[in-house]
Amino acid sequence: MKYLITIVGPTAIGKTALSIDLARHYNCEIISCDSRQFFKEMTIGTAVPSPEELAAATHHFIQNKSIFDTYTVGDFEKEALTKIEELFQTNDYAILVGGSGLYVDAIIKGFDEFTPLDPSIRENVNSNYETSGIEYLQQQLETLDPIYFQRITSENPQTLQNPQRMMRFVEVCLGTGKPYSSFLNQKKNNRNFTSIIIGLEADRNVIYDRINQRVDIMINEGLLAEAEALYPNKELNALQTVGYRELFSYFDGEFTLPFAIEEIKKNTRRFSKRQLTWFRRKENTKWFDYLADRAKIISYINEQIHNS
C-alpha cells in the first residue's frame, strides 16, 4: 500500500514546516501544490520555502516553471502523478502540501476530462461573483445547464450556496460550451494510493496576525523590488496574484505604498478565509491546531496506515 500524506490549510499557518518534519520522519519527498510557487520569477511574494527548508527535504514543483509558460491544473495533475508514481517505486510514502485547493483535488481525486479552460474565464466568473454574489452563479447555472440546476435544487440544495462548486460548474459551461451535466458520466479517475489528509487550523485572529506579520517580512525582504521587476508583464495570468496586483496599482499611481501594503494584508486574509471554506468541505480531513505536537499528528497518521 502506498500513502500520500496531504497537508492543507490557510496561508501562513505552518504547512511547510510540518511537511518537512513529516518528510524527515517518513524519509520521503515532498510534492508542492501551491499554484504560485511553481513560477521561478516569483519568490518573495509567494513565500517559497527558504534554501534551508528546501535543503531539509527534497521538494518537487517549486519554481519549476516560468510566468511566461502556459500551465494549467490539468498539466500539473499529469506531471505530479507521474512524479508521485516514480517516488512510490522506492518508497511507500510521499508528502503533498499546499494551499491551492483545486490542485490538491486534482491529485487526490482527479477531474472529469474537461476541455482545458481559458484562465480568463475563471477570472471573469470570479470577478462577477465578487461583484454580484452567489445569485449571479445561480442564475448562470440555471441558464447554462437547467437540467443540472434542477437536479441540485431537488437533491442537494446546499450546493447552490457553495461558491467554489458553483463557480466550477459555471466556468465549465462557459469554457466548453456544453452543460456541466454532460461530463458527469465520464470514467472516474482511479488512484493507486491512499490519501491521509491533515488540516492545520488556528483561531481567525491568530491566522490574521500571522498573515500580517508575513506580509511585513515580505516587504522587508524586498517584495517591492521583486514586483517592480515583474511590473512590465503585469497582465500575465500568473501575476494576477495577491501581493503583486496591489503593488502594480501602487506603480500605476492608484495606491500609496502604505495603502497597497494594507490591501495585500486584507486580500490575503480574504484568501485565507476562502481556503478554509474550500478545505473544510473535505469530510475525511483530520484537523489539528497549528501548534499541535508533531508526535500527535504522526500517531494519527500511523493509526490510519495501520487501519487501511
Q: What average pLDDT does the chain have?
A: 92
For 158-193, how does the pLDDT look when each residue is reduced to its tens digit (9 = 90+)?
Answer: 889 888 889 989 988 887 788 888 877 655 568 999
For 42-63, how does the pLDDT look when each residue is reduced to its tens digit (9 = 90+)?
Answer: 999 999 999 999 999 999 999 9
Domain 205-273 of CATH type 1.10.287.890: yes
Average pLDDT over every residue of 103-118: 73
Q: What is the pTM (predicted TM-score) of this model?
A: 0.79
Average pLDDT over every residue of 97-123: 77
Q: Report whether 277 belongs to an annotated binding site.
A: no
For 63-82, how does the pLDDT look when each residue is reduced to its tens digit (9 = 90+)?
Answer: 999 999 988 777 898 999 99
Q: 205-273: same fold as 3-113+189-202+283-307?
A: no
Pick one of 3.30.300.180, 3.40.50.300, 1.10.3720.10, 3.40.50.2300 as the CATH number of 3-113+189-202+283-307.
3.40.50.300
The one-letter code for the residue type at 147 is: I
Per residue, the 3-state secondary structure of 290-304, as one string, reads CCCCHHHHHHHHHHH
Which pLDDT does position 120 carry in this prediction?
A: 77
Cell of 281: 468541505
* Calpha distance 300→296 (Å, rounded): 6
Which pLDDT does position 137 carry in this prediction?
A: 95
For 229-271, how does the pLDDT look when each residue is reduced to its tens digit (9 = 90+)?
Answer: 999 999 998 898 999 999 999 999 999 999 999 999 999 999 9
Average pLDDT over every residue of 75-91: 95
- Collapse the DSSP code of 66 into the 3-class scheme (helix H, G, I; strand E, B; otherwise coil) and give the result: coil
Q: Report whether 16 belongs to an annotated binding site.
A: yes
Q: Is residue 117 packed enough to be buried (19+ CB in 10 Å), middle (13-18) or exposed (0-12)?
A: middle
Rounded to 5 degrees, φ, ψ at 240 are: -80, 65
Q: Report whether 9 belongs to an annotated binding site.
A: yes
For 191-233, how does the pLDDT look when each residue is reduced to its tens digit (9 = 90+)?
Answer: 999 999 999 999 999 999 999 999 999 999 999 999 999 999 9
Q: Report whether 14 belongs to an annotated binding site.
A: yes
* Calpha distance 39→46 (Å, rounded): 9
Percent of residues, the chain, with pLDDT higher than 90: 69
Domains of the chain, by residue range, sit at: 3-113+189-202+283-307, 129-183, 205-273
Q: DSSP H helical segments within the chain, as ranges?
A: 15-25, 51-56, 73-87, 101-108, 119-132, 134-144, 146-155, 163-176, 204-221, 223-230, 245-251, 257-280, 294-307
Q: Report whether 15 belongs to an annotated binding site.
A: yes
